[in-house]
Amino acid sequence: MTFVDVSSVNAFIPGQVELDAHEARMIEQRDRLLGPAYRLMYQKPLHFVRGEGVWLYDPDGRRYLDTYNNVVSLGHCHPDVVEAITRQVATLCTNTRYLHETILELADSLLSTVEGDLSHMMLTGSGSEANDLAYRIAQVRTGGTGVIITETAYHGITDAVSKFSPTLGEGVPLGMHVRTVPAPAAYRTGPNVGERFARDVESAIADMKRHGIRPAMLIVDSLFTSDGILPEEPGFLKGAVEAIRKAGGIFVADEVQPGFGRTGSHMWGFQRHGIDPDIVTLGKPMGNGQPIAGLLTRHDVVEEFGRSSRYFNTFAGNAVSCAAAAAVLKVIKRDHIMDNARNVGAYLLSQVEALRERHACLGHVRGAGLFVAADIVTDQESQASDRARTTQVVNAMRENGVLISACGADHNILKIRPPLIFSRENVDLFVDVLDKALEL
């Protein structure tokens, strides 16, 4: 049997709606073969057999506009990435204990996207492994173990990282060395979020020290994705970064979600804030679906770790994953993907914003590039979260062929995160379907 998990955003809960026979059988097989820990999305789960560009297709040939999956940020089955993988997988797929060109080319183009002293790239197999490695490096670098995160953060699922990923739910306890601070939401708390955030980080540090815990790192998703997508006031992270450094810790920018051009204005979310992280972690869209992730760091940060711990990861840095990631970077540049994210993102934001006039349940709308958030509320006056309606909207859109999900502590924030090749026509379709879903 499948466990009911009411804490998981937009998870399938068995028994709520009637399923087609084929999907019901697949769900039964999943429960039997994959066990009780896996979750499906939507009240009526989806079965896909093909993807192309912004579209996913079910077995009946019905297409769904993918406005959610940021892994395939260049679109499903992007021809350049498919070609790079197809070519490399037939030629060579080996590891970093031998010399090969592709990893060096990848490092060179990736490091050319950052300023300052970030001079090294290290590769992992997932964003979780990247944040886990960042934490290992931070501990060696600082001699500390303490971690500061935002209240509704998600950084991954390894044993260590799950201890600083509160969105995994109350069944996964935070570490005793972990402190949380409220995410900086100007639209709810008013201006001066930077000062407030810095003060909260300082309090967390003081509390940590009072408990004999030495700070290792402050880690934030620079777009605060799981906290509700908070792009306001570029620059507000500066004070917090200064505070953690003053306490002997390092600052890690988790770019697994905001990175690779999604914000349109910058390649990386942290660049919007004019700060220089000690470590930048990378993931999801890095290989447009091919497993590859990693981090960028300065020499002095990783020097002692390199000496004492060394690093080898069997799959990470294999020639095929490197070829995919190199192709992604090439396409982002060649096809002016960031311009598209900026222009189409601005159009998407304005069109969703425009719906507020006609829908009292649409609260605050905000975004950066092709990452847009919209609060679903009981009314625009009180701004009170309406989780039930959010679930209804997400599932109504799925019924009408558009995929999104929700996020935030109250599970009431629409998470709109289409591929970066999204067009104005795609936006029009999206807004039309959203409009209808908000009428329910």
Of 318-347, which residues contact its own copies (CB under 8 A)? 318, 320-321
Quote the CA–CA distance of 383 and 397 in Å, as a whole number.
22
Query: Least distance from C-beta 172 to its own copies, angstroms?
Result: 5
Quote the CA–CA distance of 428 and 207 in Å, as a whole number.
49
Q: Of the two residues 84 and 237, which places its CB atom closer to its own copies in the complex?
A: 84
**Residue 254 touching its own copies (CB under 8 A):** no
Query: Least distance from C-beta 409 to its own copies, angstroms?
Result: 17
Query: Least distance from C-beta 290 to its own copies, angstroms?
Result: 7
Q: Of the two residues 216 and 438, which places its CB atom closer to its own copies in the complex?
A: 216
Strands of 273-331 (E only): list them: 279-282, 293-298
Check if the beta carbon of residue 182 is closer than 8 Å to that of residue 151.
yes
Q: How far are the Cα atoms of 168, 188, 384, 405 from residue 292, in angstroms, in the given order? A: 23, 36, 39, 24
**Residue 168 touching its own copies (CB under 8 A):** yes
Q: Of the two residues 131 and 222, which places its CB atom closer to its own copies in the complex?
A: 131
**Residue 291 touching its own copies (CB under 8 A):** yes
The b/e string for 397-408 (b: 16+ C-beta within 10 A; e otherwise) is bbeeebbbbbbb
16, 117, 143, 172: residue in contact with its own copies (rule CB under 8 A): 172
- Token pair listed for 287: 């290989």
Q: Of the two residues 56 and 438, which places its CB atom closer to its own copies in the complex?
A: 56
Check if the beta carbon of residue 164 is closer than 8 Å to that of residue 175.
yes
Q: Of the two residues 133 and 434, which places its CB atom closer to its own copies in the complex?
A: 133
Query: Least distance from C-beta 171 to its own copies, angstroms?
Result: 3
Quote the CA–CA distance of 348 and 342 in Å, as a whole number.
10
Binders of its own copies in range 200-239 (CB under 8 A): none
The b/e string for 206-237 (b: 16+ C-beta within 10 A; e otherwise) is eebeeeebbbbbbbbbbbbbbbbbbbebbebb
Query: Least distance from C-beta 312 to its own copies, angstroms?
Result: 7
Strands of 242-303 (E only): list them: 250-254, 279-282, 293-298
Query: Least distance from C-beta 28 to its own copies, angstroms?
Result: 10
**Residue 361 touching its own copies (CB under 8 A):** no
Q: Of the two residues 30 and 214, which places its CB atom closer to its own copies in the complex?
A: 30
**Residue 383 touching its own copies (CB under 8 A):** no
- Residue range at the interface with its own copies (CB under 8 A); choices 220-228, 315-323, 335-343, 389-397: 315-323
Query: Least distance from C-beta 63 to its own copies, angstroms?
Result: 13
- Token pair listed for 279: 């470590």
The 10 Å Cβ neighbour count of residue 32 is 9
- Residue range at the interface with its own copies (CB under 8 A); choices 178-186, 246-254, 263-271, 288-296: 288-296
**Residue 392 touching its own copies (CB under 8 A):** no
Binders of its own copies in range 10-49 (CB under 8 A): 23, 26-27, 29-30, 32-41, 45-49
Site of tokens 């790192």: 217
**Residue 91 touching its own copies (CB under 8 A):** yes
Alpha-carbon radius of gyration of the chain: 21
Backbone angles phi, psi at 416, to 5 degrees: -115, 110
Check if the beta carbon of residue 281 is closer than 8 Å to that of residue 252.
yes
Binders of its own copies in range 119-138 (CB under 8 A): 119-122, 125-129, 132-133, 135-136
Of the candidates 237, 141, 226, the residue with the CA atom closest to the CA atom of residue 186: 237
54, 65, 74, 85: residue in contact with its own copies (rule CB under 8 A): 85
Query: Could you tell me how far CA 294 lies from the centroid of its own chain?
Result: 14
Query: Least distance from C-beta 363 to its own copies, angstroms?
Result: 26
162, 222, 225, 226: residue in contact with its own copies (rule CB under 8 A): 162
